[in-house]
Amino acid sequence: MNQVKSFDIETIRKDFPILNQQIYNHPLIYFDNAATTQKPKPVIDKVNEIYSLKNSNIHRGVHYLSTQLTEEYENARKQVREFINARSTNEIIFTGGTTHSINAIAYSFGEKYVEEGDEIIIAELEHHANIVPWQVLCDRKNARLKVVPINDRGEIIMEEYEKMLSGNTKLVSINHISNSLGTINDVKKITALAHQKDIPVLVDGAQSVQHQTLDVQELDCDFFVFSGHKIYGPNGTGVLYGKEKWLEDLPPYQTGGEMIHKVTFERTTYNSLPFKFEAGTPNYVGAIGMAEALKYLHKIGVDAIADHEKALLEYATSRLRDIPGLTIYGTSERKIGVISFLIGNIHHYDTGMVLDKMGVAVRTGHHCNEPLMDHFGIEGTVRCSFAMYNTKDEIDHFYDALIKVNEMFG
């Protein structure tokens, strides 16, 4: 599919029917994209098409519907492989989302390689999905969870990270981009440093794959995970990328139909990749819908989307800094279109509720980042996060709404 030559924001917005509505008599301004993105019409149409005309279980059917949908499901896998530049479709496992994928590696890798006294490294800016699975693993194996500190700009302190890497380190699991601060971590360097000591690295791409061109071979990470619903695809979908050598080596984390090769009451042998890790009936409708979202992203152009969102970030940051008493958390020079902030002593929840009454959807709270909030000594923030369909006019309306919030509570 050819890439669109210019970023036509009005045409793009027409592809997202949910944006064409009023909330409390105001045009909807959706700035909660880090939580989930809205779905373009091609994705909605594809899901409707499957349920209306094609629905059938895949892989095991010999009839027309099953074989047709099986082909679409495996084409979706090819689409994902191409999008992240994996070497093989054997390296693409469909899961239920980022959290599902991290738990899969925490269980599978942990069972085989983690023992008492071993260490897992994460960073202070992880969301809970990249904290709790490793805590559970460490509890189960009497291993240690080590946390790389960040500075007050919200950046990983690389010197501290390097000091933590040791012969006891079994795995590093780092988010590519912080969901609360927008910080872009240098995961290529983080991976290279770990590999110098033969330590594998998992990169949590929940907030990255939709905002920038992604190449897992260039990053050289061992595992990369992301969710479909954050890249304009259906909910309940996700991807676990793993280098083939690891996926061949690790045991399955779920068992049941499809992941088997041969079952007797004495013994079961496992299927080949990627099916070894896809037990039971997969979310084939979601996977095909997610692939449709990737096609849409490719059509618009991920680099063009990144440029647009960067312009929005710079414009919004400039405007918000004019608001008396407003503090932005996360000021790294390398960040995506996410702004977390507080206005004076106004509670984040109050700010969010008033914004909602003016048609602006933002996220309030700790954003599944309680340890990160502890770092800044706050309970939570207001978070606005941009996507391809947002505009500078929306930011102007957002600015005016925040001025009203400040007048009401300030």
Task: Give the model confidence (pLDDT) of 135-145 as tens digits.
Answer: 999 999 999 99
Question: What would the two tokens of residue 37 be?
Answer: 């993105």
Percent of the chain, pLDDT > 70? 99
Rounded Cα distance, 341 and 352, in Å: 11
Helices and strands counted in the chain (H then E): 14, 17
* Model confidence at 1: pLDDT above 70: no
Own/partner pairs, 138-142, CB within 8 angstroms, 24+ separation? 138/114, 140/110, 141/110, 141/114, 141/115, 141/116, 142/116, 142/117
Average confidence score pLDDT of the chain: 96
* Model confidence at 380: pLDDT above 90: yes
Picking from 219, 374, 184, 212, the residue whose alpha carbon sits closest to that of residue 305 is: 212
CB 54 within 8 A of CB 47: no
User: b/e string for 181-211 if b means 16 or more Cβ within 10 A?
Assistant: bbbbbebeebbebbeeeebbbbbbbbbbbbb
Percent of the chain, pLDDT > 90? 96
Q: How confident is the model at residue 5 (pLDDT cuts 50, 70, 90)?
A: low
Question: What would the two tokens of residue 16 be?
Answer: 């997202």
Instruction: Please measure the distance between the N-terminal and C-terminal CA atoms of the chain and give it in whole angstroms.
Output: 52
* Model confidence at 2: pLDDT above 50: no
* Model confidence at 132: pLDDT above 80: yes
Collapsed DSSP state (helix, strand, coil) of residue 196: coil
- Indicate the angle between helix axes 302-320 and 284-300, nearest 10 degrees: 80
* Model confidence at 4: pLDDT above 80: no
In 131-176, DSSP assigns E strands to 144-148, 169-175
pTM above 0.85, yes or no: yes
Which position has the token pair 């093989």? Answer: 88
Task: Give the model confidence (pLDDT) of 175-191 as tens digits.
Answer: 999 999 999 999 999 99
Task: Give the model confidence (pLDDT) of 263-298 as tens digits.
Answer: 999 999 999 999 999 999 999 999 999 999 999 999
Rounded Cα distance, 324 and 410, in Å: 9
Collapsed DSSP state (helix, strand, coil) of residue 76: helix
Picking from 273, 283, 279, the residue whose alpha carbon sits closest to that of residue 258 is: 279
Catalytic site positions? 368
For residues 53-76, give the mean pLDDT. 95
Rounded Cα distance, 94 and 241, in Å: 9
Rounded Cα distance, 187 and 189, in Å: 5
**Using CA of residue 373, residue 376, residue 379, residue 381, what is the dihedral sign?**
negative
Rounded Cα distance, 324 and 310, in Å: 24
* Model confidence at 3: pLDDT above 60: no
For residues 98-125, give the mean pLDDT. 97
- Indicate the angle between helix axes 41-49 and 284-300, nearest 10 degrees: 150
**DSSP string for residues in 294-316:** HHHHHHH-HHHHHHHHHHHHHHH
30: which strand partners? 361
* Model confidence at 344: pLDDT above 60: yes
CA angle 350, 353, 359 (to 5 degrees): 145
CB 236 within 8 A of CB 244: no
pLDDT of residue 258: 84
pLDDT of residue 247: 97
φ, ψ dihedrals at 23, nearest 5°:
-120, 115
* Model confidence at 102: pLDDT above 90: yes
Task: Give the model confidence (pLDDT) of 21-64 as tens digits.
Answer: 999 999 999 999 999 999 999 999 999 999 999 999 999 899 99
Q: Which residues contact 330 (CB under 8 A, 6 or more apart)?
A: 153, 154, 178, 180, 181, 182, 183, 338, 339, 340
pLDDT of residue 257: 85
pLDDT of residue 60: 84
